[in-house]
Chain A
Amino acid sequence: MASVSTTTAGADWEYAPAPESREIVTIRPEYGLFTGGEFAAPLSGKHFTTLNPASEEPLASVAEAGEADVDRAVASARKAYDQAWGRMPGRERAKYLYRIARAIQERAREFAVLESLDNGKPIKESRDVDIPLAAAHFFYHAGWADKLGYAGFGPDPRPLGVAGQVIPWNFPLLMAAWKLAPALATGNTCVLKPAETTPLTALLLAEVIQEAELPPGTVNIITGDGSAGAGLVGHPGVNKIAFTGSTEVGKEIQAAVAGTGKKLTLELGGKAANVVFDDAPLDQAVEGIVNGIFFNQGHVCCAGSRLLLAEPIADAVLDRLKQRLATLRLGDPLDKNTDIGAINSRQQLDKIEGLVAAGEAEGAQRWSPPCPLPARGYWFPPTVFSGVSQSHRIAREEIFGPVLSVLTFRTPEEAVAKANNTPYGLSAGVWTEKGSRILWMAQRLRAGVVWANTYNRFDPASPFGGYQESGFGREGGRAGLGAYLDA
């Protein structure tokens, strides 16, 4: 892990390596499934390996849940719902959730290092964003557990039962928190399936849940591939499905759940427009553009992947953007100075490379700063395409990588038309000093979250979710509770 990037093109000085120690983390050679409050070997008898994407070294052997394992997890969740959690007064549930929040805070560094190892994201992001937000999510929802009567769903809203939850690899612990915290606060029990490539922090969270002494079976965590997720979605013992992931899989899940009476929420892909007007504060806007698309290597469903620039400022913004990108440091995710970490998997890297090749083939101009990539692991340099038209694949399809497509506009109406010209609708950004224009844009943008003069802000009190093919249902805030209530 000594490979530290030297990508500061244009800079005549170097950073010394500042790697975060991985000693704080103990990774077991092999993990079982967490069901009924215990870790147990999978009934399937199968395991798979999870890798460090920055080095391709194996990290651990993880259980691969089969059909019988899904059955067992759902049965233990049902039992916990019937016998303990579903009947427990809200204020007792609250205290368990506070325990989880506190334990994540106490073990924050351990979680952060493990997340960066398994996912490839820079330690400064896992340390300052993923883990604190995960703890905050439990803390916020703990407070709702004994106040559900005030949430606007009637005086005594009821839980749904057993929730089956399938989460992606881009924010592994944070997505687990987004799923578990509201479900538990409202009195449901859970079967959570982490992504195949990033199971480790969910398994550490299982330990935390065990230590917090939640009634056995209240939370079950089963690792595996897409078939385990499909088995969970299709299981007749599940009352509620929550999925975060690609629109393609989301559509399959919606079709599979149709007619079963299961309650469903989907948080899917995005192709967000980040709109910069000519009166925008340009230095702030450039920072926001960078944060919008290069945060977490662009593995963000709400990433600002389409930059819409007002024509008069387009060249100036692009110049500043390129200068700024030349200072980004790509390399060891555990180095505290790293801005861009590893791509999470070979499969994802292939997808990014394929779409970037299509962008060049279709005539857009590709640019990256000088950026040597480490020899081992999965890496992709920050990339900007200019001269992009709306018909290009890189303007229509979600790349889910550090690739920005730049388009221009002349009038606010044109900006709205281009921003909304997508089947997605998860998020959008607006940059202008004019408050009335922000609100005018916000009224017209078909997106679940609109960031004005900022980007990629998240808070447990703030609902998050999409319009159109970015899914339905919200996570966070008062609205998010509705996803887990019979209301």
Chain B
Amino acid sequence: MAGPGSARTSMPDRPAADRAGKAAKTAKPGKTPASSKTRARGARPADRAAVRANARGDGPVGGAATRVDVRKTYKLFIGGAFPRSESGRSYPAAGPDGAVLAHVALASRKDVREAVVAARKAVAGWAGATAYNRGQVLYRVAELLQGRAAQFAAESVANEGVSRAEAERQVAEAIDRWVWYAGWPDKIAQVAGAANPVAGPYFNFSVPEPTGVVALIAPAAPGLLGLVSVLAPVIATGNTAVVVASESAPLPAVTLAEVLATSDVPPGVVNILTGRAAELAPVLAAHMDVNAIDLTGAAAADRAELARLAAGNVKRVFTADDDWVAPPGPARMLAFLEIKTVWHPIGV
């Protein structure tokens, strides 16, 4: 993977790798955006207005006096639909200056359970799709992410308070990372599988298979890049996911849900809940129909208890404090794969 100082070329697409390199200096892992030096002094009014109006964020809002914006309701994403929380609750998503951007659905335990039901229902179809098909569906997501790049950047600026340049770098990196994972479905078995030379007249081979329903506690920041980094590897290999979005930066998660809903990803493959990780994570960790849980976004103090709850049905538990800017490896895919080995005799 390219990093800073990689060869520049005269490509029509500006290499996002350069942006990634620069981002590495600015966004440090483990730091919340509130403590980051790159944090802007507060979102520009234009970005805030863009978010509120669900606009693309790429034009001035001058002359707004003549027209009243239509604001977006930020809802949950369960089974391909966009319901509000069954609890009727919401919480304010705010910019760095405390200004409220939107009232986002505050998911409940019951929403979690419904999301798990939807995710379970989607496993057979998604895991059973050909790897080629899954790769193409995921690549389609990247195509639509690119089309929404300006909107994601505006939301990131307004919600997380990063500079516009930093937001654009993160969005570009998130898109390229999605493309990277889109190429994996038809390759992971060739990297993680094997023909095993057993000492006998048997043909023996091992193939990786998805583990099933995976719960993800998304990292608090960076909103879109962090979410993409934990979600894409899980679904690339055929799992389905229930995601608890970043509590502080829920806006890009809801917009990502809108992308997923319109890009051939079957309903239920990805379910996104906005709300309090502290409230929802224990429900997921203890849920008997969840096969694995990624605790990356859970508070450090909560991880041990969540891991203990996960033992109730022998969940695969994964935790890694990634440097979100560094190129990923296959670890996040391998963590949610089972290895199946098949024996067959050889002989006339």
Which A residues contact B (CB, under 8 angstroms)?
A: 83-85, 87-92, 94-95, 98, 136, 139-140, 142-147, 150-152, 213, 215, 412, 435-437, 439-440, 443, 460-461, 477-478
Cα-based distance from A185 to B1 in the complex (angstroms) = 14
Residue among B135, B179, B184, B186 making CB contact with A91, cutoff 8 Å: B179
Cα-based distance from A215 to B17 in the complex (angstroms) = 18
Interface centre among B1, B11, B17 (most CB of A within 10 A): B11
Residues A147 and B346 in contact in the complex (CB < 8 Å), given A87-B9, A92-B11, A94-B179 = no
Cα-based distance from A278 to B320 in the complex (angstroms) = 56
Cα-based distance from A437 to B11 in the complex (angstroms) = 54
A139 touches B1 (CB 8 A): no
Cα-based distance from A98 to B348 in the complex (angstroms) = 45
Cα-based distance from A164 to B345 in the complex (angstroms) = 44
A461 touches B183 (CB 8 A): no
Count class of interface residues, chain B: 20 to 34
B345 touches A436 (CB 8 A): yes
B13 touches A136 (CB 8 A): no
Residue among B176, B184, B191, B347 making CB contact with A437, cutoff 8 Å: B347
Docked complex: B176-196 residues within 8 A CB-CB of A: 176, 179-180, 182-184, 186-187, 190-191
Majority DSSP secondary structure for residues of A touching B:
helix
A95 touches B348 (CB 8 A): no
Residues A92 and B17 in contact in the complex (CB < 8 Å), given A139-B132, A147-B180 = yes
Residues A213 and B2 in contact in the complex (CB < 8 Å), given A144-B187, A147-B184, A440-B348 = no
Residues A87 and B7 in contact in the complex (CB < 8 Å), given A92-B17, A436-B347 = yes
Cα-based distance from A439 to B179 in the complex (angstroms) = 38
B191 touches A144 (CB 8 A): no
Question: Which residue of chain B has its CB nearest to the CB of A432?
Answer: B348
B179 touches A88 (CB 8 A): no
Question: Which residue of chain B has its CB nearest to the CB of A434?
Answer: B348
Cα-based distance from A213 to B2 in the complex (angstroms) = 21
A89 touches B190 (CB 8 A): no
Residues A146 and B180 in contact in the complex (CB < 8 Å), given A84-B10, A88-B7 = yes
Residue among A92, A145, A439 making CB contact with B9, cutoff 8 Å: A92
Nearest CB on B from A413, distance (A): 8
Q: Which residues of A contact B182 (CB under 8 A)?
A: 143
Contact bitstring B1-34, A, C-beta under 8 A = 1, else 0: 1100011011111011100000000000000000
Cα-based distance from A288 to B9 in the complex (angstroms) = 49
Residue among B15, B136, B344 making CB contact with A435, cutoff 8 Å: B344
B348 touches A437 (CB 8 A): yes
Q: Which residues of B contact A87 (CB under 8 A)?
A: 7, 9
Cα-based distance from A46 to B16 in the complex (angstroms) = 44
Contact bitstring B153-197, A, C-beta under 8 A = 1, else 0: 000000000000000000000001001101110110011000000
B312 within 8 A of A: no
Query: Known contacts A83-B9, A147-B183, A461-B190; can you find 17 more A-B pairs with CB under 8 A?
Result: A84-B10, A84-B11, A92-B11, A94-B180, A94-B183, A95-B13, A98-B139, A142-B183, A143-B184, A144-B183, A146-B1, A151-B191, A435-B345, A436-B347, A436-B348, A439-B344, A440-B346
Question: Which residue of chain A has its CB nearest to the CB of B17?
Answer: A89
Q: Which residues of B contact A478 (CB under 8 A)?
A: 187, 190-191
B92 within 8 A of A: no
Residues A139 and B345 in contact in the complex (CB < 8 Å), given A146-B183, A215-B9 = no
Q: Which residues of B contact A152 (CB under 8 A)?
A: 191
Nearest CB on A from B238, distance (A): 15
Q: Which residues of A contact B345 (CB under 8 A)?
A: 435-436, 439
Question: Which residue of chain A has its CB nearest to the CB of B18?
Answer: A89
A98 touches B132 (CB 8 A): no
Contact bitstring B190-210, A, C-beta under 8 A = 1, else 0: 110000000000010000000
Contact bitstring B311-331, A, C-beta under 8 A = 1, else 0: 000000000000000000010
B346 touches A439 (CB 8 A): yes
Q: Which residues of B contact A139 (CB under 8 A)?
A: 132, 135-136, 139
Nearest CB on A from B196, distance (A): 14
Q: Which residues of B contact A436 (CB under 8 A)?
A: 344-348
Q: Which residues of A contact B6 (CB under 8 A)?
A: 89
Q: Which residues of A contact B186 (CB under 8 A)?
A: 140, 143, 460-461
Question: Which residue of chain B has its CB nearest to the CB of A135?
Answer: B136
Cα-based distance from A367 to B187 in the complex (angstroms) = 46
Q: Which residues of A contact B7 (CB under 8 A)?
A: 87-89
B11 touches A140 (CB 8 A): no
Residue among B9, B132, B179, B330 making CB contact with A140, cutoff 8 Å: B132
